[in-house]
Amino acid sequence: MPVPVSSRLHARYSPRALAATLAWLRVCAVVGQLATVLGVAHLLELPIAEGALLAGITALAAFDAAVWWRLRQRWPVGETEVVAHLAVDTGVLCYLLYLTGGATNPFVSLYIVPIALAAMALSPRHLAASVGIACLAYFIVLIRHEPLPDIASHAAHGGQVFAARDFNLHVLGMAVNFAISAVLLGFFIWRLARDLRRRETLAQRERERALRDEGILAIATQAAGAAHELNTPLSTIRTLVGELRREHPADTPLGEDLALLAGQADRCRDILRELVQVGSAQLTEQAQVQTLPAFIADCAERFRLLRPAVNLDITLADEAHLAPLRIVSALRHAILNLLNNAADASELSASAKVEFAANCTATDVVIEVRDHGPGLPQAVREAAGMRFVSAKRDGLGLGLALTNATIERFHGSLRADAAMGGGTLTRLTLPLSALRAQAQ
């Protein structure tokens, strides 16, 4: 079964993902804090507790190194652990702010960044704990802190190299803080918006897939009912044909027509029996073990019996996998649907050529079918079997939809593109792991 949208996107907002994001931000914070402390102490020559500040930055760097080691382990990362990471970050920032002016330091608003990240991944209970830690840290530096030296008064005593008389350190810090906040918030809001757009796109595809499957199920139900109901009139037709033959044994033209009618009735009966057999095999997951070359040859032989007038050009790469693969009958019918669609498309351009190619990579089986027709409209190519659409005048779009549904059962993909030189190239990709798992 395809992976649900929520499962595929959950990893982007999981506690482990948030811990990794915080680890990267911690690297940036260590670099930025180190540059700021050294710049203020040596370029501005302000009397700050350089040694104590560097000790706090070193402790943060050591903690980040431990977090990177932790993330390489397979232990699950819980929300409580992420809150502990945020508590350490907040505590170190609180220590640095205590030594550099406390709440009067313009960088105090950086308390907001971890809260914004926590809101993306944590539960309300753990988010409330993160907010409480940030508020407590802000309150601490608000009431207790070392005063920040004034750059203007320090310049009046000759300790500043390049500052002007009215230059204010707080204004400079606010400008730098604004730039940092703008970059961080802009980046994370952009990423959040991108993921939301991706979520909407995937959700739309899931809705289309559900509608398609509902349509296929409705058609299958009707087909099963029709097969059951057709069995009785077919038996009646065969009985009447036998009686007419006995009543008119000397009528040669009538006998030939009755023989044709009997043959067609037998053919309909065989089709119904095959339909029942396919359904039974599908329910019991019965399959045939074949290599890829044997499977391609089998599909080609069946197609030539159906469409003998079509010139089928087969290309089998040397890298074709020779290991046995278990092929269900639905997969064989999916390939035949693609070949039939390609033959119909080629006939529209007065061509009888269809190209059939197969290749095998280290992870996937790739099967390509190319026609030499006028090409599919872009809307049909984009649908790619998700909806019942067809470019043929009398087409129902059912064959491509059934093919795509079968491919998705094996976690594969189906893609239709315009081919070089005209026509359409339909590429079917099946993961070897799914086929091997079926074989096992």
The CATH code of the domain that includes 313 is: 3.30.565.10
**pLDDT given for residue 65 in this prediction:** 94
> What residues of the chain score a pLDDT lower than 50?
1-11, 152, 155-167, 283, 385-389, 391, 393-396, 437-440
Same-domain status, 69 and 125: yes
The pLDDT value given to residue 4? 42
Q: 367 and 254 in one domain?
A: no
In which residue are the tokens 């652990």 written? 81
- 308 part of a folded domain: yes
3 state SS of 88: helix
**pLDDT at site 70:** 92
User: Backbone phi, then psi, for 416, in 5-degree steps?
Assistant: -120, 125
What integer pLDDT is reported at residue 2 of this predicted model?
40
User: Is residue 181, in this structure, part of any structural domain at all?
Assistant: no
- CB count within 10 Å of CB 154 equals 17
pLDDT at 5: 41
Residues 389 and 292 placed together within one structural domain of the fold:
yes
Residues 156 and 305 in one domain: no
Whether 198 is covered by a domain: the verdict is no
241, 257, 284 - which closes a domain: 284
Range of the domain at 30: 5-167
3-class SS of residue 166 = coil
pTM of this structure = 0.48
CA distances from 160 to 46, 50, 61, 101, 168 (A): 8, 17, 30, 19, 12
Hey, what's the torsion of the CAs at 311, 316, 317, 323, to 10 degrees? Answer: 170
9 occurs within a structural domain: yes
Q: 397: how many CB neighbours lie within 10 A of its CB?
A: 19
Domain closes at, from 242, 260, 284: 284
Indicate whether 294 and 411 sit together in one domain: yes
Domain boundary among 284, 309, 324: 284
In a domain, 52, yes or no: yes
**Does residue 158 sit within a domain?**
yes
Q: Rounded to whole angstroms, how far apart are CA atoms 386 and 211?
A: 9
348-380 pLDDT per residue, tens: 888 888 889 888 887 888 888 898 888 766 655
Residue 354 CB partners (closer than 8 Å, separation 6+) = 310, 311, 312, 313, 339, 342, 343, 346, 369, 370, 371, 372
- Same-domain status, 52 and 132: yes
Which residues neighbour 383 within 8 Å (Cβ) at sequence distance 6 or greater?
Answer: 389
- DSSP strands (E only) in 322-391: 325-328, 353-360, 364-371
Do 54 and 149 belong together in one domain?
yes
Domains of the chain: total: 3
Alpha-carbon distance of 208 to 202, in angstroms, equals: 10
Structural domain includes residue 183: no
